[in-house]
Amino acid sequence: MDCLFCKIAEQEIPAHTIFEDEVVKCFLDINPDSNGHLLIIPKKHFVELDDIDENTVLHIFQISQQMKKLLATKLNYDGLKIVQNNGVLQEVKHFHIHLIPYYKEEKPLQSLPEIAEILTK
């Protein structure tokens, strides 16, 4: 399979990983909309929301709550957008969730290594 996110999950392609366990991997989006823009992916390949089993969905959303708290604590955002695309809206055909912090005052984008260091300290 030639799936970008499967390769990231299997560490064939590097990513700025913030958290991972046996089910999911959370890493910084390589083209972030804002500082702290995270992706959460299941390590097992699923394409869309209706492909994925209930236990995995539940786990992904439990980890989403943890990552939301981490982003709030470390980056002090003003709001958080959660996005999950399907079909033609998906750039990568592997189920994933975006956690995108929102800041009232526009902040210049910091480098991914800088944000990774802040989030993993």
The active-site residue, picked from 16, 37, 94, 96, is 96
Among this protein's residues, is 59 annotated catalytic?
A: no
Radius of gyration, alpha carbons of the chain? 14
Pick the CATH number of 4-120 from 3.30.428.10, 3.40.50.300, 3.90.580.10, 3.30.930.10: 3.30.428.10
List CB contacts of 2: < 8 A, sequence separation 6 or more.
none
CA of residue 45 relative to chain centroid, distance = 15
The predicted model scores a pTM of 0.94
pLDDT digits (tens, 9 = 90+) for 25-78: 999 999 999 999 999 999 999 999 999 999 999 999 999 999 999 999 999 999
Q: Which of 11, 69, 20, 10 is nearest to 40 (CA)?
A: 20
Q: Is the pLDDT of residue 1 over 80?
A: no
pLDDT tens for each residue of 86-120 = 999 999 999 999 999 999 998 899 999 999 999 99
- Give ∠ CA 111-114-116 in degrees, rounded to 5: 105
